[in-house]
């Protein structure tokens, strides 16, 4: 097992490649941020992602991935993840998670943010805050050689503090030249995550999905992508790409203008 994990440890040169991918992806998110307001459609957000990425000679990783036809995911209100951009126009009170992944010189960077559109309910603000706090609590718990399960332990504890639930069906993942690779990164502790370890040089995502109500999900069989909450209640998510260094975790996708540890929504 440890021998397999060591194959995922990046050299210093490879780590710098991941840093460059992360910087671009964060730059793209900063570009999107002021434009995600009431009146824009999710399809327009997708076009912004495509145009900005290709203008900079990079690739949107989701475009064509396993048949997915868009350059990002836009998950509104009760959509947990993999929402497909379309003609839906954002309105005051919505929350929307925008998930972007870029391929920069063959290396992947992946992140998402949940945005509050105009004046939102206290419940919407609370679930967004919980998802953000849970992501940062998980990152703060990481140390070289730790088990993957410290991420799930931290997320579950933060969700319990708010009285919300943690999605189990969809998880984080290793990241590098491939979009999704070993190890899986569940946001709840399980047997496998208590065995897998995070070694220096490994890259992965931390991306908790937090639901106001039940943790149970529903896949829209009309497109086989869109995942919603089973009870129709709100869901929020934040995601960063993380590199484990010899001295601790490094966030690769930190935006210049985006929320940082301690931010209040």
Q: Specify the pLDDT at position 247.
A: 98
**Predicted pLDDT at 7:** 82
- Tokens 């997915």 identify what position? 68
Can you give the pLDDT at residue 1? 59
Question: How many Å apart are CA 200 and CA 246, to the nearest integer?
Answer: 5
pLDDT at 219 over 70: yes
> In the structure, what pLDDT confidence band is assigned to residue 240 with cuts at 50, 70 and 90?
very high
pLDDT in tens, 98-127: 999 999 999 999 999 999 999 999 999 999
Please say whether the beta carbons of 25 and 253 come within 8 A.
Answer: yes
Residue 197 is predicted with a pLDDT of 95
Q: What is the mean pLDDT of residues 147-163?
A: 98
Decide yes or no: CATH 3.40.50.300 for domain 2-251. Answer: no
**Beta pairing class for 235-237 and 203-206:** unpaired
Domain ranges of the chain: 2-251
119 vs 90: CA distance, rounded Å = 12
Give residue 221's pLDDT. 97
């Amino acid at each position: 097992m440890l021998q397999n994990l060591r194959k995922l440890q990046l050299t210093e040169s490879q780590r710098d490649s991941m840093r460059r991918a992360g910087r671009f992806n964060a730059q793209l998110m900063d570009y999107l941020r002021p434009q995600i307001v009431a009146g824009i459609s999710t399809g327009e957000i997708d076009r912004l992602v495509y145009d900005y990425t290709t203008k900079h000679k990079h690739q949107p990783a989701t475009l064509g991935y396993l048949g997915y036809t868009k350059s990002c995911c836009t998950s509104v209100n009760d959509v947990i993840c993999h929402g497909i951009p379309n003609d839906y126009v954002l309105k005051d009170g919505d929350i929307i998670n925008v998930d972007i992944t870029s391929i920069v010189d063959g290396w992947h960077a992946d992140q998402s943010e949940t945005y509050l559109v105009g004046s939102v309910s206290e419940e919407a603000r609370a679930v967004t805050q919980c998802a953000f706090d849970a992501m940062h609590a998980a990152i703060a718990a990481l140390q070289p050689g730790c088990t993957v399960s410290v991420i799930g332990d931290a997320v579950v504890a933060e969700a319990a503090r708010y009285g919300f639930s943690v999605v189990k069906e969809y998880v984080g993942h290793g990241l590098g030249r491939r979009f999704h690779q070993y190890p899986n990164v569940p946001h709840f502790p399980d047997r496998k995550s208590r065995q897998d370890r995070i070694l220096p040089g490994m890259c992965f995502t931390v991306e908790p999905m937090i639901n106001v109500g039940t943790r149970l999900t529903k896949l829209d069989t009309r497109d086989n992508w869109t995942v919603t909450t089973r009870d129709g209640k709100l869901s929020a998510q934040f995601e960063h790409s993380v590199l484990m260094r010899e001295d601790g975790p490094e966030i690769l996708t930190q935006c210049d203008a985006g929320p940082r540890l301690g931010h209040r929504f």
